[in-house]
């Protein structure tokens, strides 16, 4: 059962027989009480233990202590519940770049018993509308700098929005005391919903419990990073990604450390932060590590002790070039929104360059053939994983059956396992394009392109690229073939960035007279990939 008054998330969970088999929850570090609000351990604990005056967040312009964060999140929780009418279990959309108020809002929602739906700053109104309607989101907290797209949403569900940065939310906060009694959620109440595109038109909602939020803090970071309170984390992934949420919020706060938040983390800005603020742990994507390698000689990064890469596979050359330039070993890892965070990685002690690594504490993995049988060593197959977290798609039983089979989570990645048990990435097993750390579903890009008045048909594929890993490549059939030109391609790209998230736009456009299809009319993307 759930303690939530609004039971949407609970009612939308897949039935027990379709959920994955959870493992290792009987280990002491993963054993949680029946009643649990994860904000108590991540934030309140530091106040109660006398750590309130320690720094928890910095930016180039401000510094927050744990007490600052605690009091502000309590005040926002009161605004949500007393002014905005939020009830436990309501879904609350967060829209902001990585900044302290975004983090305070995240904790406020958790404290009040709400369900966090954090989104990326680049999303446009059409994409936000889909998220609002799918999750039946009733409330939103938004950075005023990003309010324009949110204001265009017309939904029967969204009824209360507050903005920060322009003083409106801050004015309401000033009227509230800096204490709030956490709502008594259950360990298995949904704390957050992460959206993942997949390869279908509608995005999929993945639900994670309060226990999951704490348990991942005992898994990857303890296995690979060994954080201490003196550590300062930073990185480029948005907090709207579960990769960014873990690396920039959950992990530093669980270990009493601090984070340096950067709203626009260009490579030079990351290096400047490491240089000036003595960053010790950095999370970013392989594309960024490659760029950082070319610029690192101009900065003092001697404070940096752990480098983490995820979001796409880490090429061996990127790893080697960084190591040659700095003497630091990049820790690669694979995670998934469905699994909440990284489940296969390495530490500096057990690292094998080029391999993704070994299952971290709390997880086990194997490689399967198309019939579900385990394959011999070094043969490629489907990656299957299970452990302390697992896939829970809301209201998508057909997709749940695809992702979870016989208790195992099938990630859609092709891997091989060597004779020493190390897992090596081979390829994506679907039509997901991973470009510069962003997951981009081909069908999502196609859906946008098909709304252009001059496009009759299109197919989107990934094109290998040394810098970004893959490029979004659109094969387009125009209604008027005579219009095919570089100018038309550029116009389509400009238009796309105005109506959808810019990181999804097709960097390569090829015009064709027709697209390859089967006799039944099914698109043959594999022929386009070979072209």
Burial of 443 by CB count in 10 Å (0-12 exposed, 13-18 middle, 19+ buried)?
A: middle
Contact present, 253 and 54 (Cβ < 8 Å):
no
DSSP-derived 3-state class of residue 283: strand
CB 406 within 8 A of CB 372: yes
pLDDT tens-digit map of 69-89: 999 999 999 999 999 999 999
pLDDT for res 519: 43
The CATH homologous superfamily for domain 210-430 is: ANL, N-terminal domain (3.40.50.12780)
Q: Where does residue 494 rank: exposed (0-12), middle (13-18), buried (19+ CB within 10 A)?
A: exposed
Question: What whole-number distance in Å separates Cα of residue 359 and Cα of residue 344?
Answer: 4
Question: Residue 201: what pLDDT?
Answer: 58
Residues of the chain with pLDDT under 70: 197-201, 428, 430-431, 518-522, 530-531
pLDDT at 311: 77
Mapping DSSP onto H, E and C, the string for 385-409 reads EEECCCCCECCCHHHHHHHEECCEE
Residue 471, classified by CB atoms within 10 Å of its CB into exposed (0-12), middle (13-18) or buried (19+), is middle
- Can 210-430 and 432-530 be said to share one CATH topology? no
CATH architecture type of domain 432-530: 2-Layer Sandwich (3.30)
The first and second tokens of residue 190, run together, are 């949904």
Q: What is the pTM of this model?
A: 0.87
> What pLDDT score was predicted for residue 100?
98
In the prediction, which pLDDT does 199 show? 40
Q: What is the pLDDT of residues 25-38, one digit of tens each?
A: 999 999 999 999 99
Pairing between β-strand 330-335 and β-strand 306-309 as defined by DSSP bridges: parallel
Edge-to-edge order in the sheet of strand 455-465: 455-465, 469-478, 508-511
| pLDDT attached to residue 520 | 40
Cα(315)–Cα(323) distance, integer angstroms: 13
Sequence spans of domains, the chain: 210-430, 432-530
């Amino acid at each position: 059962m759930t303690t939530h008054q609004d039971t949407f998330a609970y009612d939308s969970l897949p039935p027990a027989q379709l959920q994955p088999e959870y493992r290792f929850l009987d280990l002491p570090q993963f054993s949680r009480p029946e009643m649990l609000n994860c904000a108590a351990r991540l934030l309140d604990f530091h106040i109660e233990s006398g750590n309130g005056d320690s720094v928890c967040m910095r930016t180039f312009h401000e510094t927050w202590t744990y007490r600052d964060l605690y009091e502000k999140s309590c005040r926002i929780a009161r605004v949500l519940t007393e002014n905005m009418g939020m009830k436990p279990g309501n879904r609350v959309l967060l829209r902001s770049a990585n900044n302290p108020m975004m983090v305070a809002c995240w904790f406020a929602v958790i404290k009040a018993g709400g369900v966090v739906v954090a989104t990326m700053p680049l999303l446009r109104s059409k994409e936000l509308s889909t998220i609002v309607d799918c999750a039946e989101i009733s409330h939103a907290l938004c950075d005023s700098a990003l309010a324009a797209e949110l204001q265009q949403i017309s939904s029967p569900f969204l009824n209360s929005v507050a903005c920060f940065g322009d003083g409106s939310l801050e004015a309401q906060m000033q009227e509230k005391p800096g204490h709030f009694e956490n709502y008594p959620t259950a360990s298995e109440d949904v704390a957050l919903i992460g959206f993942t595109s997949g390869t279908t038109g509608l995005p999929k909602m993945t639900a994670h419990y309060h226990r999951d939020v704490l348990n991942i803090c005992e898994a990857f970071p303890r296995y690979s990073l060994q954080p201490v309170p003196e550590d300062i984390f930073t990185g480029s992934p948005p907090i709207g990604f579960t990769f960014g949420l873990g690396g920039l919020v959950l992990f530093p706060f669980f270990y009493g450390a601090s984070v340096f938040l950067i709203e626009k983390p260009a490579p030079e800005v990351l290096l400047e932060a490491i240089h000036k603020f003595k960053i010790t742990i950095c999370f970013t994507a392989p594309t960024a590590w490659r760029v950082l390698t070319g610029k690192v000689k101009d900065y003092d990064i001697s404070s940096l002790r752990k480098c983490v890469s995820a979001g796409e596979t880490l090429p061996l050359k990127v790893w080697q070039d960084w190591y040659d330039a700095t003497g630091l070993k990049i820790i690669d890892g694979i995670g998934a929104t469905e699994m909440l965070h990284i489940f296969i990685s390495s530490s500096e002690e057990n690292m094998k360059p080029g391999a993704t690594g070994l299952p971290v504490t709390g997880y086990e993995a194997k490689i399967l053939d198309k019939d579900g049988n385990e394959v011999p060593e070094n043969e490629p197959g489907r990656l299957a994983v299970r452990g302390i977290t697992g896939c829970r798609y809301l209201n998508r039983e057909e997709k749940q059956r695809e992702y979870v089979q016989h208790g195992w989570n099938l990630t859609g990645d092709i891997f091989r396992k060597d004779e020493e048990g190390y897992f090596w990435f081979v390829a994506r097993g679907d039509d997901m394009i991973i470009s510069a750390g962003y997951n981009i579903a081909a069908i999502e890009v196609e859906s946008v392109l098909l709304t252009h008045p001059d496009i009759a048909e299109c197919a989107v594929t990934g094109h290998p690229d040394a810098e970004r890993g893959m490029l979004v490549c659109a094969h387009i059939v125009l209604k008027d073939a005579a219009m095919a030109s570089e100018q038309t391609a550029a116009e389509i790209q400009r238009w796309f960035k105005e109506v959808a998230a810019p990181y999804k736009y097709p960097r390569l456009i090829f015009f064709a007279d027709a697209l390859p299809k089967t006799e039944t009319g099914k698109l043959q993307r594999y022929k386009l990939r070979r072209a």
